[in-house]
Every structure is written in structure tokens, then in C-alpha cells.
Amino acid sequence: MAREELTRLTGNGNGECGQGDCPNVYRTESGSFIVQGDASDAFTPPQGEGLVEIPESVLREAFRALGW
């Protein structure tokens, strides 16, 4: 899946990063979410999964974009 196929919920100029390539939340056509952030090694996830860390402000921005 290409980034262009996702709806970007954060980082559209109103948050900490503006248009930069930093922690962001995207929504897929099926309604699930893709989270972009710094890789985390807090614990070892199951094979095929990964951990990312994003600031609370990014989640709040995503919730606002969704009207939650």
C-alpha cells in the first residue's frame, strides 16, 4: 500500500511537525489505522508486528480530525 492511498489525519500543518515526515496517524480505505513514529524496543512484539512510539499530541490531533 502506498502512502498516497492513505488519509493523513495528522501533520497537516497544525501540529508539532507541520508537513514534515514525523510521527503521524493515517486511515486506510478499510477504516483501520497506520501509525508512523520512532521505532521502540520496549518489548519484543510477535513476528510480523512492530512497535512505534508517538507523542500524545499526535493522537489528540488524529481524534480531532475524526471528530472523536
Q: Is the pLDDT confidence value at 58 over 70?
A: yes
With a threshold of 0.85, does the pTM exceed it?
no
**Strand pairing report for 52-53 and 38-39:** antiparallel
Backbone dihedral angles phi then psi of residue 10, each to the nearest 5 degrees: -135, 170
Each residue's pLDDT tens digit, 13-42: 655 565 567 899 999 999 999 999 999 999
Alpha helices in 1-68 (DSSP H): 56-66
Over range 44-67, report the average pLDDT.
Answer: 95
Amino acid (one-letter) located at 11: G
